[in-house]
Amino acid sequence: MNIRKHILILLLSSLMIAPSYAQNSRTGRIEESLVIFNDVLRQLDMNYVDTLDYETITETAINQALHKVDPYTVYYPKKKDDDLRMLTTGKYGGIGAIIQQRDKKIIIANPYEGKPAQLNDVLAGDILLSVDGTSTKDKQVSDVSSLLRGEPGSIVKLELERDGQTITREFTREDIHMEPVDYYTVLPLDSSNNKQIGYISFREFTNGSADDFKEALSELVATHHIEGLVFDLRSNGGGIIEEAIRIVNNFVGKGVEVVSTKGKIRTANNSYVTTAEPTYPDLPLVILVDKNSASASEIVSGSLQDFKRATLIGQRTFGKGLVQNLRPIAYGGHLKVTTSKYYLPSGRCIQAIDYTEMQRGHKLTKDTAGGILPDIVINDSAKVDITYTLYTKGLFFDYSVKFRREHDSIALPGEFMVTDEMIEDFYKFLENKKFTYETETSKYFHDMLEMAKMEDLDSTTLAQLKAIEPQLKPSFQTAIQRNLDEVKEYLGAEIIERYYFQKGRSAYMVRFDKELKRAIEVLSSNADSHTHN
């Protein structure tokens, strides 16, 4: 249907039906708003000097309106079906690679192991010039992602730049499924004996993810006879609630309410109850969470904390306690709309303060922050130092790309270490990049000096201030030496990922994970107390 005719029909329909709803104030306000919106579009159509893109105008208006509601109520027009499919299933048709924008160029940041990109020699660090003949110049990451995605089985042709040379790769898109269990292994419970614990890193709650979790856990129990489990939900943004319930059911009895939802309409009020006998009712359990653990992650961790079935370690979780459901919209679109809130067995609401209240300026306090507070809080030790600067500028990544092209192989993730020779080579790399390190303090100090000059401080005071300045601008070599262990850890993780991909990185990082070490201590303490009873 012609978009102009569609707008006029909506307008006339609204005008005709508005009086019949006058007795219902809420419905009346809705119809009044529709009339106003339609009239604005009609006036634009009739009077605006240039041709308008009504599809973009409508989509923008909807998105801006929904942003005022909460961050999770989202409109998906039909053209974004791939995004919706990825959201609900964890699958999409594509090449299996993460891309990012660097220096106004689109680069391959990480091809996934065993996926089309990696199997066809697409490497991290490759600059993506075009997709099926469409240039990526001046395009955003989201635009290029849309070009890369398509129907599984379709052919895609990439034009890449590597070491100044242009290369092409042509291959078939696949149904890319992100593995919910991205890594699992066994770790020693106590160095003095052969006891072991399991470790499972869990990415997201998508269709079938509970089966993947149980399969990994079953292998750890059957093959390695683990005596405890560390379940890593850090940076897990959640997903399907039913999958969360099934995971909890591994550890608690049948017929137990894990979470309930309460909303405005009757169908939004639900109780989610376990349906099977637990497989591992007595397995000691520690759950790792952080500020990016949200939604289904908070249901799992919060309910098991309420049941006193698990010890939580980390930081307060995100606090996403709002439930969304998909509703079909005209012309093939969908609305992911917030319909209710999550309540844990103890009665806690994960979403302790309404987003609308925050929009009005109400600030979070200790009591209204929402989320799940761990039993053992380990403060986030993030610092704005040389490691942070090197990471955010992508210099660890850039060096790892260079290193991979110069070395065919390295030691396994469990054995690899960044040597002093590698650090010296890293110094040369940074020098060639003309990298200079300026601390955040020095930036503020420079502003303070300028203000001091404007305020006409005496020359002696100014000279004393200037004498401090060199101390705030250490060489990057000096700064790295002050933070050498941390720099080696992050640099090593990037190098490992170039050879062994994401699983290799996870295997490498568990060696340095302070929260994981604390979890092992807790499980070891529990094992000792059981032994003495």
Range of the domain at 363: 181-326+339-377
Identify whether residues 132 and 163 lie together within a single domain: yes
Residues 20 and 110 in one domain: no
Q: Is residue 106 part of a domain?
A: yes
Reported as a pLDDT band with limits 50, 70 and 90, residue 17 is: very low
Residue 530 lies in a domain: no
In a domain, 20, yes or no: yes
Alpha-carbon gap, residue 98 to 126, rounded angstroms: 12
Residues 107 and 239 in one domain: no
Residue 132 sits in the same domain as residue 188: no
Task: Report if residue 65 sits inside a domain.
Answer: no
Q: Would the pLDDT of 228 be above 90? A: yes
Q: In this structure, is residue 10 part of a structural domain?
A: yes
Look up residue 412 and give its two tokens.
């396994």
Do residues 395 and 495 both lie within one domain? yes
Rg (CA), the chain: 28
Residues 52-77 pLDDT 10s: 888 888 888 888 888 888 888 888 88
Residues 347 and 288 in one domain: yes
Q: What's 355's domain CATH number?
A: 3.90.226.10
Q: What percentage of the chain has pLDDT greater than the value 70?
A: 89
When divided into structural domains, the chain yields a total of 5
* 467 band by pLDDT with thresholds 50, 70 and 90: confident
User: Quick one: 312 and 191 in the same domain?
Assistant: yes
Residues 6 or more apart in contact with residue 291 via CB below 8 angstroms: 315, 316, 317, 318, 371, 380
At 446-460, the pLDDT tens digits run: 777 778 777 777 788
262-303 pLDDT per residue, tens: 998 998 999 999 999 999 999 999 999 999 999 999 999 999
Distance CA 142, CA 124 (A): 18
Are 391 and 499 members of one domain? yes
Structure tokens of 185?
């292994």
pLDDT of 368 reads 58
Structure confidence at residue 283 (pLDDT): 97
- Weakest-pLDDT range from 36-50, 253-267, 502-516: 36-50
Residue 332 lies in a domain: no
Residue 7 banded pLDDT, cuts 50, 70, 90: very low
User: In this structure, are 226 and 351 located in the same domain?
Assistant: yes
488 Cβ contact list (under 8 Å, min separation 6): 417, 418, 423
Q: CB of 519 within 8 A of CB of 313?
A: yes
Residues 236, 302: one domain?
yes
Residue 114 lies in a domain: yes
CATH of the domain at 117: 2.30.42.10
Identify which has the larger pLDDT, 27 or 351. 351
For 501-521, how does the pLDDT look when each residue is reduced to its tens digit (9 = 90+)? 999 999 999 999 999 999 999
d(CA 120, CA 169) in angstroms, rounded, equals: 7
* 346 in any annotated domain: yes
Q: Where are the alpha helices (DSSP H) in 317-379?
A: 355-359
Residues 44 and 122 in one domain: no
Q: Indicate if 290 and 321 belong to the same structural domain.
A: yes
Q: Are 188 and 195 in contact (CB under 8 A)?
A: yes
